[in-house]
Amino acid sequence: MNDGNLEVKMWYVPPVADKDAEGVLLELYNQDLEKDGYIWNTTRVWSYRPELAAPWRQVLKIIRSNMRLRAYELVTIAASRAIGCVYCMLAHGEVLHKNGFSVQQIIAILEDFHTADLSPLEVHMMDYAFKISTDTSLITQADIDLLHQDGLNNQQISDIAMAAVARNFMSRMFEAFGVNPDPELQVREPELWDYLKKSRFS
């Protein structure tokens, strides 16, 4: 999102209201309410095709299960940053924050992950994910060779690609619908949210 006033940005495609939800969508809404006490906007985006939510979540689960959490989240952040999806940067920034990263480190990664005190492997993974998410014509054999030199095999490189491509699907759907981060998420990560809502991503 390139809107300088993200707090008041409205959905382009309004989701089905809570009172109007039924069937599979109502089940999804109720699952969020029971688990977290509110309905995530990441759930609301499935309003008009709720039957796709479960299989898509299973795809993400399989991709995540084959990667270490840190690697998956850094790849996801790289893809989200490339697309400019504030929702995904905040949500996955929160995951990093819960797993040992300071807010300052996360902001440094978003500013330029090349100078954010990450390992060479992590930088190369994020470079690959960033290119996947911006212009795939920039990807060359050299990108894969670097990952091989870092010790990754073809299956692990495929996992990185799939994680980045999956994030493209979700981030671009959020952007297409004009989705803001949930107010509850904004409150949980106030410092990171303050940075993101003042930043402009392209």
pLDDT bracket for residue 6 (50, 70, 90): very low
Which of 92, 80, 75 has its CA nearest to residue 160? 75
Compute how many other C-beta atoms are within 10 angstroms of the C-beta atom of residue 105: 16
pLDDT for 10 equals 77
DSSP 8-class letter at 9: P
Tens-digit pLDDT profile for residues 74-103: 999 999 999 999 999 999 999 999 999 999
Across the chain, what does the average pLDDT equal? 94
- Residue 199: the pLDDT is 85
- First-to-last alpha carbon distance for the chain, in angstroms, is 8
Q: What confidence tier does 111 reach under pLDDT thresholds 50, 70, 90?
A: very high
Query: What is the reported pLDDT for 46?
Result: 98
Burial class (CB in 10 A: 0-12, 13-18, 19+), 134: middle
151 DSSP 8-state letter: T
Each residue's pLDDT tens digit, 29-74: 999 999 999 999 999 999 999 999 999 999 999 999 999 999 999 9
Domain range summary for the chain, segments of one domain joined by +: 17-65, 68-202
**For residue 168, is pLDDT > 50?**
yes
Describe the crossing of helices 69-83 and 53-65 by its angle, rounded to 10 degrees.
120
Check: pTM over 0.85? Answer yes or no: yes
CATH of domain 68-202: 1.20.1290.10
Cα radius of gyration (the chain): 17
Q: Can you say whether residue 131 is alpha, beta or left, with left for phi > 0 and alpha for psi between -120 and 50 degrees? A: alpha
